[in-house]
Amino acid sequence: MARNNEEGAVWSIMGYLISGLLIWGGIGYGLDNWLHTHYFLLGGLILGAGASIYLIWLRFGRE
Amino acid sequence: MQITGHLASSAGFVPPSTSDFNLPPIFGHSAYLTKPIALVFFSVILISAFFILASRKSAVVPSKLQYAGESIYSFVRKDLGEEIIGSGFLAYVPFLFTLFTFVLVNNVFGIIPFMQFPAMSHVSFPYVLAGFSYFIFHAIGVKRQGLIPYLKGIAFLPGVPKFAYILLTPIEIATYFLIRPVTLALRLFANMFAGHLLLLVFIGGGNYMLHDSHLLMKFLSPFSFSFGIIMTFFEFMVQCLQAYIITLLSALFIAGALAEEH
Amino acid sequence: MHGTLNLVGYGLSAIGPAIATGLIFAAYINGVARQPESRSVLQPIAFLGFALAEALALFGLVLAFVLK
Q: How far is CA C67 from CA A29, B56, C7, C9, C12, in A?
A: 11, 60, 11, 12, 16
Quick check: is A3 in a domain? no
Furthest CA-CA distance within chain C: 55
Average pLDDT over residues A21-49: 91
User: Is B50's pLDDT higher than 70?
Assistant: yes
Percent of chain B with pLDDT over 90: 37
User: Is B5's pLDDT higher than 50?
Assistant: no
User: Is B3's pLDDT higher than 50?
Assistant: no
Average pLDDT over residues B84-112: 91
List of residues 6+ apart from B224 with CB closer than 8 A? B202, B203, B205, B206, B209
The answer to whether C55 contacts A63, with C-beta atoms less than 8 Å apart, is no
Range of the domain at A24: 8-61
Average pLDDT over residues B26-46: 85
User: Is B10's pLDDT higher than 90?
Assistant: no
CATH of region C5-66, choose from 3.40.605.10, 3.30.200.20, 3.40.50.11810, 1.20.20.10: 1.20.20.10
User: Is B62's pLDDT higher than 90?
Assistant: no
Q: A43: pLDDT confidence band, cut at 50, 70 and 90?
A: very high
Residues of A in contact with B166 (CB under 8 A): none
Percent of chain B with pLDDT over 70: 95
List of residues 6+ apart from B72 with CB closer than 8 A? B101
Quick check: is A1 in a domain? no
Flag whether residue B237 sits within 8 Å of chain A, measured between CB atoms. Answer: no
Percent of chain A with pLDDT over 70: 87
Write down the pLDDT at residue B204: 87
Quick check: is A33 in a domain? yes
The answer to whether C51 contacts A13, with C-beta atoms less than 8 Å apart, is yes
Q: B239: pLDDT confidence band, cut at 50, 70 and 90?
A: very high
Residue B60, SS3?
A: coil
Contact B243, B107 (CB under 8 A): yes
Q: Which of C61, C57, C27 is nearest to C45 (CA)?
A: C27
Cα of first residue to Cα of last residue in chain A, in angstroms, is 13
Q: What is the pLDDT of residues B163-186, one digit of tens each?
A: 888 888 999 899 999 999 999 999
Flag whether residue B259 sits within 8 Å of chain A, measured between CB atoms. Answer: yes
Q: B1: pLDDT confidence band, cut at 50, 70 and 90?
A: very low
Write down the pLDDT at residue C1: 62
Do the interacting molecules here have an ipTM over 0.90? no
Q: HSE on the CB side for B136, CA within 13 Å?
A: 21
Count of domains for chain A: 1
User: Is B54's pLDDT higher than 60?
Assistant: yes
Contact B173, B154 (CB under 8 A): yes
Percent of chain C with pLDDT over 90: 54
Average pLDDT over residues B61-85: 87
Quick check: is A2 in a domain? no
The answer to whether B175 contacts A48, with C-beta atoms less than 8 Å apart, is no
| CA geometry: angle B199, C65, B182, nearest 5 deg | 65
Residues of C in contact with A22 (CB under 8 A): 62
Return d(Cα B104, Cα B97) in angstroms, integer.
Answer: 10
Region of B92 (left: φ > 0; alpha: ψ -120 to 50; beta: rest) is alpha
| Residues within 8 A of A (CB atoms), B 150-189 only | 157, 159-160, 164, 167-168, 170-172, 174-175, 178-180, 183
Residues of A in contact with B159 (CB under 8 A): 58
Return d(Cα B2, Cα B203) in angstroms, integer.
Answer: 12
Return d(Cα C51, Cα A51) in angstroms, integer.
Answer: 12
User: Is B260's pLDDT higher than 70?
Assistant: no
Contact A11, B249 (CB under 8 A): yes
Return d(Cα B58, Cα B73) in angstroms, integer.
Answer: 14
Name the residue facing C54 among A13, A29, A61 (closest C-beta). Answer: A13
The answer to whether A25 contacts C66, with C-beta atoms less than 8 Å apart, is yes
Quick check: is A35 in a domain? yes
Write down the pLDDT at residue B2: 44
Return d(Cα A22, Cα A16) in angstroms, integer.
Answer: 10
Q: What is the pLDDT of residues B103-135, one digit of tens each?
A: 999 999 989 988 888 889 989 999 999 999 999
Write down the pLDDT at residue B255: 87
Return d(Cα B195, Cα B118) in angstroms, integer.
Answer: 9
Q: How far is A17 from chain B (nearest CA, A)?
A: 9
Contact B189, B120 (CB under 8 A): yes
Q: Which residues of B190-221 are buried (b: 16+ CB within 10 A; e: fewer)?
A: bbbbebbbbbbbbbbbbbbbeeeeeeeeeeeb
Average pLDDT over residues B149-172: 86
Write down the pLDDT at residue B26: 78
Q: What is the pLDDT of residues A21-34, one digit of tens each?
A: 999 999 999 999 99
User: Is B237's pLDDT higher than 90?
Assistant: yes
Write down the pLDDT at residue B128: 94
Q: HSE on the CB side for C7, CA within 13 Å?
A: 3
Name the residue facing A49 among C47, C50, C59 (closest C-beta). Answer: C59
The answer to whether B167 contacts A51, with C-beta atoms less than 8 Å apart, is yes
User: Is B31's pLDDT higher than 80?
Assistant: no
Spans of chain C below 50 pLDDT: none
Write down the pLDDT at residue B4: 47
The answer to whether A54 contacts B164, with C-beta atoms less than 8 Å apart, is yes
Q: Which of B134, B79, B156, B119 is nearest to B239 (CA)?
A: B119
Residue B220, SS3?
A: helix
B209-217: Cβ within 8 A, 24+ apart = B211/B7
| Residues within 8 A of B (CB atoms), A 2-61 only | 2, 5, 7-8, 11-12, 14-16, 18-20, 22-24, 47-48, 51-52, 54-55, 58-59
Structure-derived torsion over alpha carbons of residues A16, A20, A22, A26, reported in degrees to the nearest 10:
160
